[in-house]
Amino acid sequence: MGRRGHAPGIRVVDLLDLADRTVGSCLARASVTAGISREQWRILMLLDEGVGEAGLASPGHTMGQIAARAAVPAPTATRLVDRLVAEGLAYRRSDDWDRRRVHVHISPEGHALVTRAAGELDDAFGAAPGGLGEPDRLELWRLLDRLSAPAAHEDRTSVS
């Protein structure tokens, strides 16, 4: 074993780079047909969280949550969402309790697009890391989730 319990020659940064390139490649293919950016993908994936198989029960998200997930300033997030709304991939709805507050929801078309892209990513990741079996894939997801926890905490603390 190398330093800190890692196998010699394998660095976390190399594995994350491979994952990023694989995701980027899959999203690039879907982006060509949908005409949306990587930041807009982040927004769509956030909006799609918690949506059922039928595309129902979207909880919606505030612009602050969207800006944090997309890692862009609030005005940029607004422009990105404007484009998603114009393309029919998302829609806005006023908060039931506070009409000044707006929640953004994924549309059925946006949900279908995310579902297709997620399927392509699942296929790519099944092949990319040497054809991992189901137990190894679950372990990979668990480890990536652990790695994302500090980043998610940083996102929450950086939004005012």
109: number of Cβ within 10 Å: 14
Pick from 70, 72, 48: which is nearest to 60 by CA? 48
pLDDT in tens, 47-59: 998 776 655 566 7
Domain of residue 73 covers: 3-158
Instruction: State the pLDDT confidence band at 128, using cuts at 50, 70 and 90.
Output: low
Decide if pLDDT at 155 tops 70.
no
Q: How many domains does the chain have?
A: 1
- As given in the structure block, the two tokens for residue 38 are 């990587």
CATH number for the domain harbouring residue 72: 1.10.10.10
Q: What is the sign of the dihedral through the CA atoms of 69, 74, 76 and 82?
A: positive
Count of alpha carbons within 13 Å of 138, Cβ hemisphere only? 3
What pLDDT, in 10s, does the model give residues 13-33?
A: 887 788 788 777 777 776 776
The pTM of this model reads 0.67
